[in-house]
Amino acid sequence: MEELSAIQLRDKIAAGEIKSVEVTEGVFKSIEKYEPIIGAYISTFKERAIARAGEIDAKIAAGKHVGKLAGVPIAIKDNMCTTFGATTCASKILKNFHAPYNATVVEKLLTADAVIVGKTNLDEFAMGSSTENSGLKQTVNPWDTQCVPGGSSGGSAAATAAGLCFAAVGSDTGGSIRQPASFCGVVGLKPTYGRVSRFGLVAYGSSLDQIGPITRTVEDCALMMNVIAGHDASDSTSVDEKIAPVPDYLEGLDEPIKGLKIAVVPQFNAGADGQVQEAVKQTLDIYKKLGAEIIEVDMPYLDYAIAAYYVIATAEASSNLARYDGVHYGHRSKEVENYIEVYSKSRAEGFGKEVKRRIMLGTYALSSGYYDAYYLKALKVRNLIRRDFTMVFEKCGCIMMPVAPTTAFKIGEKTADPLQMYLSDIYTIAVNLAGIPGISIPCGFDDKKLPIGLQILSPAFTEDKLLRIARMFESQTDFHLYRPKINHE
């Protein structure tokens, strides 16, 4: 059962060939065996999950209708609200916070009869690229436990790769789904901004955040999108389906796109490690054999994406995290003498180093005398980056580039140099600034047997096309079938 994809497992459960209870119990056996090594989960819900699986088995036995994820064990990133378990954001300030409602995505998963097995680790408040900034625990890469799993959705990617769930959901503010998916050798999709509801997602950068799936195959990714995509009246940034209808992402998935024109950005890709560049080149060669045309393009404003992103994201983080004041909810310092100390000491004790750094950067960029010089200028650059993408998509169906400059790096390798850590997102950040969809798919391995990811980008609200393009490559290769061998001695 461990080698089955989510959709294969769903079909077998729905047909009564396999019991969801057996599958769920098997997942928890794997969690008991490997979780002490991987550290993917902040919390798990064994009793609840097995009971839920039993209910789904009973529905199937009674011949009742079951949802699109009937009985499939799913993991959720722990920055999405649930009425069961704590919602910690991997932060000490929210360590004991229990949300009074479910995020819309969680509700949709439950309606689809998914079995939620646990909530996964992340960089605190999703601020990081390696999951080393978690305030609660360390997550490692299943392919090499000396390496990071990527971030901030490192727990979701590691759990999916290690077989501790059959699919997961993460959030992506500047690459936080795609980069860990690349590092862990799985598929990760950042949908168009507004395609998936953000209601119940603890905000980091409100104009950048987007929830998306992390899966083992492109087909599973399409299945997850069929469940979680769509308009939500509770989310003011959710796009009305009359404006952008939600298609069936599985329909036509295996139909190759004829006459596909692929854009590549030579000067931008040149900064990647040689083995990453070679894997992307070999991938493009496969697309050529499938009839695609490769077109070199110039996107000059991508060079400014990192600078613009870290002004906009930190400014929004400064605003969003102001609510954690030690008064309404979350951690409150006990060593206080007045109201000022309630705020200052609670935040000082509850927030980690990286979160404090980003709050300070954002507060500075929004302060009097600097707003126009930094924040307003970053917004103007953002529009220029969007224009770059629009011009390319007028003549090409998609853009292909690496997900990250390197494969997974060693734990502790970049923690002393925040700027080097920020640069690990150099290929992913512009996608969030432009609000377009992007997917990471496995496309090779380096000489250390660590996965390499290919990033494919397409125009807004064309996830169906993006998934078909990704499936074209997946159908010609077997990288998605490889699984890490975890040393549990």
- For residue 485, the 8-state DSSP code is -
The residue type at 200: G
Residues 6+ apart with CB under 8 A from 388: 299, 300, 301, 302
Pairing of strands 167-172, 73-77: parallel
Does the annotation count 176 as an active-site position?
Answer: yes
Give yes or no for a contact between 34 and 162, defined as CB atoms under 8 angstroms apart: yes
Q: What residues contact residue 474 under an 8 Å CB cut-off, 6+ apart?
A: 217, 218, 441, 480
Annotated active-site residue in 91, 129, 130, 176: 176
Which residue's entry shows tokens 């997850």? 224
**Burial class of residue 249 (count of CB atoms within 10 Å of its CB; 0-12, 13-18, 19+):** buried
Q: Of the residues 20, 91, 129, 152, which is catalytic? A: 152
Helix axes 6-14, 46-61, angle to 10 degrees: 50
CA-wise closest residue to 26 among 13, 38, 43, 37:
13
Name which of 204, 122, 110 is nearest 157 in CA terms: 122
Residue 77 known to be catalytic: yes
**Residue 135's closest CA among 81, 93, 78?**
93
Dist CA 150 CA 145 (whole Å): 12
Q: Could you tell me whether strands 438-445 and 187-190 are parallel, antiparallel, or unpaired per DSSP bridges?
A: antiparallel
Helix (H, G, I), strand (E, B) or coil at 476: coil
* Candidates 59, 68, 77, 190; catalytic one: 77
Q: Which of 148, 156, 157, 120 is nearest to 41 (CA)?
A: 120
Question: Are 79 and 171 spatial neighbours (Cβ–Cβ below 8 Å)?
Answer: yes
CB 455 within 8 A of CB 178: yes
- Paired sense of beta strands 293-296 and 115-120, if any: unpaired
Residues marked as catalytic? 77, 152, 176
